[in-house]
Structure 1
Amino acid sequence: MPITKELYGKTEDGKDIFIFSLKNGKVEVRIIDYGGIITNIFVPDKDGKVEDVTLGFDTFKDGYDTRSRYFGALVGRYANRIAKGQFTLDGKTYNLAANNGPNALHGGIKGFDKRLWTSSIVGNKLVLQYTSADGEENYPGEVKVTVTYQLTDQNELILDYIARTDKKTVINLTNHAYFNLAGHAAGSLDGHNVRLAAHKYTPVDETSLPTGAIDSVAGTMFDLTTDTNLADRLPNVPGGKGFDHNFVLEKPGWDKHAARLRHIPSGRQIDMYTTEPGFQFYTGFYVNIANAKGGANYVKWGSFCLEAQHYPDSPNQPSFPSTVLSPGETYRQTTKYVFSIAES
């Protein structure tokens, strides 16, 4: 079905925000060109009942501009955390905004999630483009980013990312959709089973920053390699906050299967595949937002994120896969979320 486009709202400085609907007759995904935000994902259950399974707001002014916890947004220039808001590149130190305790998080005060992207429809794809100026949020280099969204007949939501720079920089992009397969307003992750294709993870300190180690999940609460009741596991994760950890994908190449979550009562299932070396599995400990989409109250442990990306703090961890992008190189990432009905 063709992608539709409608006026959604206006930014504070009066620029138009548009919303795009991608449909295939079974699933519908809605995206705005402000922050590349996925506002809605409508998915049927085993009986054909449709629910919106991603958290968000009804309008821009309801919260995407001021209250959002990165709901559905494209995140950059550097997704996740950088220690002490600082990194060194070719002998020069760059100081970033410390917007997450002592650390930099998700691109700074005004990251890619708070920018209006240029939008176009090309066939059955939504194409968003943004040019991040040299020095924006104190990152070096002018970076040109293109992100393409496609919804296939196989219920695959495919995100393709491309970026190029005119000066050596660091880059780490992701999408920060929050999911609840029972429906965005369900309020808990009861009934969800999780299985991650990750036998290693990166432990964190008290500020959720990687220690630099890459540890096995075997024998720990981080072992999610077999079907696990998510709600039962959350209170037992060390630190008391549930999951907010980077999981390591060791299989090389494209289209790595990273994660599968199923909501047993409804039968809804989501699988994530990615070209990235890891992903952040986050279970929404810091979410506490009243009167969100449809009047819903969003609370801790009421949603989960599957953020395909490089490891947090990679610019300060030489043993992690590099996030440096140089002139003449192209950053590429493909991640897809596949919606289905779980086999009984």
Structure 2
Amino acid sequence: MSLETQKPSQENPMSAEPVAETSRVSPFRRVLNAVGVQNSSLIIALVVLVLIIGSQNSNFFLTNNLLLIGSAVTIMGLLALVQTLVIILGALDISVGSMAGLASVASAMVFQATGGNAGIGMLAALGIGLVCGLVNGMIIIFGRVNPVVATLGTLAAYKGLAQLISNGKSQGYTGADDFFIFLAKGSIAGLPTLVWVFLIVAALLHFLLKYTDIGRNIYAIGGNDTAARLAGININRYIIGVYALVGVVAAIAGILITARTGSGQPVSGSEGLELQAVTGAALGGCMLKGGKGSIVGTVLAVFILGVLDNGMSLLGINPFWQNIARGVLLVVAVVLQQLRSGERRVGLPT
């Protein structure tokens, strides 16, 4: 009896300590924990960058310029979002830009062939994007090819196919179609339609990763594919599914290229999007080895890149420096990730 009466008295102080500690957590600390350290640093970097550029050129803060930044990052941002999923899975997709270019050509050519039916043109583009994504996934699974090598091959193949069916020229004219005009120049509640497309896709992918079993399984596969397989997760199905999703979103980006340019573009508008997408995802906190990353971080990184490009243009800096800046940012982001992970550096003693 004496032991039974003493046991609760020994446990109560222990159970009270965490409650006291929790109650002493400041509101600022709670917000920081909710946002995440990585995202907090991105927010700070974005604010500092905005203040620096704004102090050098007051036109930066004009409403039209801020909306222009949002519209300009949409296409690259969409590809960075799905690149985030692929990287978290522990893979990579180098062919996203080529898929966007192929979808752009398809949307315009089918639009023209059907007498100006925008809906059919867009469905054709989405279908081609889906097929391209499935092909990437199946090459990786059934061909047992490294994702980088597989998508590097399809990068060239999809780009060549877009040039072949278009004869290397822009195709169709969508500049007079109401829906394409709405996509390119319309607005909802003061925000450009392009920005709404980006935010909606980002919200859906954030929900998928954070609040569904599918998202948790994607993180599990990227973190430790062996453990995920032993836990009963069908890794092949997830790889094919994620790459198919990448193809669909790349097709959406291609449709937006068509809307913005008024015609299908086999290369122009999609060239170099692969590097930008990987840079956005890596800068947003994705570990290239997989298992870590977030949509919120990628969104912040995309706007950092957009502000940087816009600021360099406003300040009259040679546009060729933009590619240099993106390359440097990618290297810096990866280096910081490696230093945080504490992994052994290549070629150096531990």
TM above 0.5: no
Q: What band does the TM-score fall into relative to the shorter chain?
A: under 0.3
| TM-score (normalised: structure 1) | 0.21
| TM-score (normalised: structure 2) | 0.20
The structure where strand makes up a greater share of residues is 1
Taking CA–CA contacts closer than 8 Å with sequence separation of 6 or more, which of the two structures ends up with the larger relative contact order?
2
The structure where helix makes up a greater share of residues is 2
